[in-house]
Amino acid sequence: MMIYRFRAMIIGICLLLWAGISLTAQTLTSAETRFTDTFSEWTLYAAEEEGELRRRWQSGDDWTSWDYRLGGHSGQIQLKWTGNPNEWEIRGDNQIITARTIWKGDFREWRISSPEHRIELRSRYKNILEEWAMEKEETGYFGMYTTWEGDPRAWTIVDELDESVSFPMKMALVFLVLYHSTPKL
């Protein structure tokens, strides 16, 4: 009987370790549209994997609900209040991340909050939304810029964030840049 308990304990520990390893934060490298004529489906690239970010309802003109998946991570992004584009909720990995504009109606500056972190994302320029960044001593640097100037279909991601920054928080950063820097086609 003791041997079975010991084996069950070893299997349980191995499963916990495997789950922890598979759900560590991914280092994102780039994003590009899946098709050249729409910005509603994106392919996400991490150091070793490929994933997706896509509008939940492809038919119609609903840009308020999105789903993402990369490796062992998946989640949803939704406008928190109907008709108010100043606040989004990102859900995944048993977390809820909130993204709010710093100034109402100014979609170039965002505050992204989780229980562990509070970071701010800004567009580098006021009139050109092709370069975004956030840097905080405790969490590291995150930046996104168009791979080719003037073409919002492909983005390079510089992800130097600390491992304490969760994948849903990284997805909040990526989503806000892609959503607010591209046409709704």
DSSP H or E stretch at residue 136 = strand 131-136
- Structure-token pair, residue 31: 């994003």
Contact 25, 165 (CB under 8 A): yes
**Checking DSSP bridges between strand 151-161 and strand 28-33, what pairing results, if any?**
antiparallel
Q: What are the residues facing 68 on neighbouring strands?
A: 53, 75
> φ, ψ for residue 111 (rounded to 5)?
-115, 120
Best CA proximity match to 144, nearest among 31, 49, 27: 31
- For the chain, the structural domain boundaries read 2-181
**pLDDT at residue 19, as a whole number:** 42
Q: How confident is the model at residue 185 (pLDDT cuts 50, 70, 90)?
A: confident
Amino acid at 135: E
Statement: residue 153 has pLDDT above 60: yes
Best CA proximity match to 105, nearest among 76, 128, 85, 131: 85
Residue length, the chain? 185
Separation between Cα atoms, residue 45 and residue 28, nearest integer Å = 6
Task: Taking residues 31-54, report their average pLDDT.
Answer: 95
- What distance lies between CA 44 and its chain's CA centroid? 10
Q: How confident is the model at residue 47 (pLDDT cuts 50, 70, 90)?
A: confident
Task: Taking residues 87-98, report their average pLDDT.
Answer: 97
Q: How confident is the model at residue 21 (pLDDT cuts 50, 70, 90)?
A: very low
Q: What are the residues facing 123 on neighbouring strands?
A: 132
